[in-house]
Amino acid sequence: MATTPDNHLKAELRTQFGKGAARKIRATAKIPAVLYGHGTDPRHLTLPGHELALLLRKANQVLELEFDGGTELALVKDVQKDPVKQLIEHVDLVLVRRGEKVTVDIAVRVEGESAPGTISNLENATLSIEAEATHIPESVTIQIEGAEDGTQVLASQVPLPQGSTLITDPDTVVLVVSTPAGTEADDEAAAASEAAAAESAE
């Protein structure tokens, strides 16, 4: 996910803080944010609400912020939302540089169908990786087509995009394929019932 012009936002420096000031900002369809990192003093910003909401549909978004006569790259670190309305209330941003490595959590996706009669359980829906700030993958994928009962996929076995390094413990179980409890017993009971019915018919 390289930074593109689509990630560009015009920001405004703000000097008023507190809940009252934040409410006034949100009333104008904008979002208060804080940018910190690299030993700099935190900078309080105002971001355009609609454009920001569209960009935040993707996790680990890197924004190119234009303010104070220059531009900065910032990784979205935390998004606070109204618990009821789910509207964005505040965003925490971390200053990053091109080529810099950052640690992020990315989603694990599953493709394919395991062997007939089995189910797959995703034990860990995210993995922590280190990646270049401007090339953070959106997700990683596990292929389970035809995987048999008892199959386990460890974090170390999940394919990572080039340039990414696993931070999660390599021995962490990410996915397990199993036969649902009672399936074999149910099959045996059904077979016995069929046999008994056949004997009765005779």
**For the chain, domain boundaries:** 5-96, 103-184
Give the Cα separation of 30 and 47 in Å (integer).
Answer: 6
Cβ–Cβ < 8 Å for 164, 179: no
- pLDDT (tens digit per residue) in 55-90: 999 999 999 999 988 999 999 999 999 888 888 999
The CATH number given to 103-184 is: 2.170.120.20
Cβ–Cβ < 8 Å for 120, 176: yes
In the sheet that holds 173-178, the strands lie side by side as 119-122, 173-178, 152-154
Instruction: Specify the DSSP class assigned to residue 7.
Output: G
Q: Sort strands 173-178 and 119-122 into parallel, antiparallel or unpaired.
A: antiparallel
- Model pLDDT, residue 17: 72
Per CATH, 5-96 and 103-184 having the same topology is answered no
Cβ–Cβ < 8 Å for 45, 10: no
Cβ–Cβ < 8 Å for 33, 91: yes
Instruction: Give the pTM.
Output: 0.76
CATH superfamily of 5-96: Ribosomal Protein L25; Chain P (2.40.240.10)
- pLDDT (tens digit per residue) in 87-99: 899 999 999 999 9
Cβ–Cβ < 8 Å for 34, 45: yes
Which pLDDT band, with edges at 50, 70 and 90, does 18 fall under?
Answer: confident
Q: Which ranges in the chain belong to alpha helices (H)?
A: 19-27, 49-55, 183-201
- pLDDT (tens digit per residue) in 146-189: 999 999 999 999 999 999 999 999 999 999 999 998 655 455 55
